[in-house]
């Protein structure tokens, strides 16, 4: 009985969660005019007259591959750079004793509270001054150092047994070597969690690229889909095809990584 109710609840929730996604996927396969005509009935989920025409149209109308490459480049650089500098900082704050450490560390939670939105306007003028508008750098560099990531690494490293590092140091390894060879291999969950959280926020970035880019060649996907949507003629089939192409690779990556992510959330301090 309870089991049946559980499945009932899950099935209901699943169909509501799935509807917009199915609508998008099915719509991407239909002729443009049918998408809107079918939207009000179950026909929205029936791929009648399916073809890949919309996908061909998107590729012909906009440089999709370019946007995808831009997005992939920007997010992966932020993730890679972020893992490097934030984990090092988290380590320095949690495991190394040095003068000025504690007052500097007090700044980290304070900075965590400042959302990008609160500084977007002056940051915009600052990067304009640097001559960085319409570049990759302006979309990458400001987001590499991240207070939340530092804090995440800090809490995780605090909980790591000290014996490992002491053994390495006995063998004469310096701080960097100890960190790279002993600490990093034992900290996979926190690296995964930090990578995924960073990736999720950066992959969807919209406001900042909207402010600092005007050239197509450096624009990422989230911005491209909104300009594509406002680009006449309004063809819903094409827009949905654009959406599917934009989400498919990430969904694939997530199917692989989600197990690690859940495990990472359990073992890192995220849940409070």
Partner 1 sequence: MTDSIQRRSGPLFAAPALLGLVVFVAVPFALAVVLAFTNLRLGSPLPTEFVGAEQFRRIFAEPAFVRALLNNTLFALVVVPLQTLLALALALLLHQRLKGRAFFRTLFFAPVVFPLSLVAVVWVLIYAPGPEGMMNGFLRAVTFGAWIPRDFLRDPVLALPAIMLTSIWQGAGFQMVILLAGLQGIPGELYEAAAMDGAGRWGQFQHVTLPQLRNTLSFTVLVTSILAFRLFDQVQIMTRGGPRNATTTVMFEAVQASFGRQQVAKGAAMTVVLFLVVLAITGVQRWVARQGREVG
3-state helix vs strand vs coil in the chain, percent to 5:
80, 0, 20
- Name which position in 1, 60, 97, 215 contacts partner 1 (CB under 8 A): 97
Q: Report the distance separating Cα 75 and Cα 69, nearest Å.
A: 10
Q: Show the CA angle centred on residue 111, arms to residues 210 and 146, nearest 5°.
A: 60
- Which residues from 219-238 bind partner 1, rule CB under 8 A? 221-223, 225-226, 229, 236
- Name which position in 58, 92, 168, 194 contacts partner 1 (CB under 8 A): 92
Distances (CA, A) of 106 to 93, 145, 149, 190, 194: 10, 16, 15, 21, 21
> Closest approach of Cβ 162 to partner 1, in Å?
13
Stretch that binds partner 1, among 47-55, 57-65, 155-163, 203-211 (CB under 8 A): 203-211
**SS3 label, residue 171:** coil
The answer to the question of residue 180 lying near partner 1 (CB under 8 A) is no
- Identify the residue whose tokens are 């009932």: 8
Q: Report the distance separating Cα 238 and Cα 62, nearest Å.
A: 11
Residue number, 50 or 266, with CB nearest to partner 1: 266
Residue number, 69 or 262, with CB nearest to partner 1: 262
CB-based burial, 120-131: b 16+ in 10 Å, e otherwise: eeebeeebeeee
Binding mask 154-173 for partner 1 (x = CB under 8 A): ---------------x----
Q: Are 23 and 39 in contact (CB under 8 A)?
A: yes
> Closest approach of Cβ 126 to partner 1, in Å?
6
Residue number, 190 or 246, with CB nearest to partner 1: 246
- Which residues from 103-122 bind partner 1, rule CB under 8 A? 104, 107-108, 111, 113-115, 117-122
The DSSP 8-state label assigned to residue 216 in this structure reads: G
> Closest approach of Cβ 50 to partner 1, in Å?
18
The DSSP 8-state label assigned to residue 269 in this structure reads: G
Stretch that binds partner 1, among 47-55, 56-64, 138-146, 155-163 (CB under 8 A): 138-146
- Which residues from 55-84 bind partner 1, rule CB under 8 A? 84
Residue number, 46 or 121, with CB nearest to partner 1: 121
């Amino acid at each position: 009985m309870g089991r049946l109710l559980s499945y009932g609840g899950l099935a209901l929730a699943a169909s509501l969660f799935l509807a917009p996604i199915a609508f998008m996927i099915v719509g991407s396969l239909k002729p443009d005019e049918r998408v809107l005509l079918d939207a009000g009935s179950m026909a929205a989920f029936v791929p009648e007259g399916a073809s890949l025409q919309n996908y061909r149209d998107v590729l012909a109308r906009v440089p999709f591959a370019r946007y995808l490459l831009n997005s992939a480049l920007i997010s992966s650089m932020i993730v890679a750079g972020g893992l490097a500098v934030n984990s090092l900082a988290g380590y320095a704050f949690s495991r190394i004793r040095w003068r000025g450490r504690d007052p500097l560390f007090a700044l980290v939670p304070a900075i965590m509270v400042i959302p990008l939105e609160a500084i977007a306007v002056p940051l915009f003028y600052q990067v304009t001054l640097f001559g960085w508008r319409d570049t990759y750098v302006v979309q990458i560099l400001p987001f590499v150092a991240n207070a939340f990531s530092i804090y995440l690494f800090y809490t995780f490293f605090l909980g790591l047994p000290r014996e490992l590092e002491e053994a390495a140091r006995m063998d004469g390894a310096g701080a960097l070597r100890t960190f790279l060879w002993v600490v990093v291999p034992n900290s996979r969950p926190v690296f995964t969690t930090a990578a995924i959280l960073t990736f999720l926020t950066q992959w969807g970035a919209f406001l900042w690229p909207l402010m600092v880019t005007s050239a197509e060649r450096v624009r990422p996907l989230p911005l491209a889909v909104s300009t594509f949507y406002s680009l006449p003629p309004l063809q819903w089939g094409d827009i949905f095809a654009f959406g599917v192409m934009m989400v498919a690779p990430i969904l694939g990556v997530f199917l692989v990584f989600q197990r690690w992510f859940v495990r990472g959330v359990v073992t890192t301090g995220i849940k409070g």
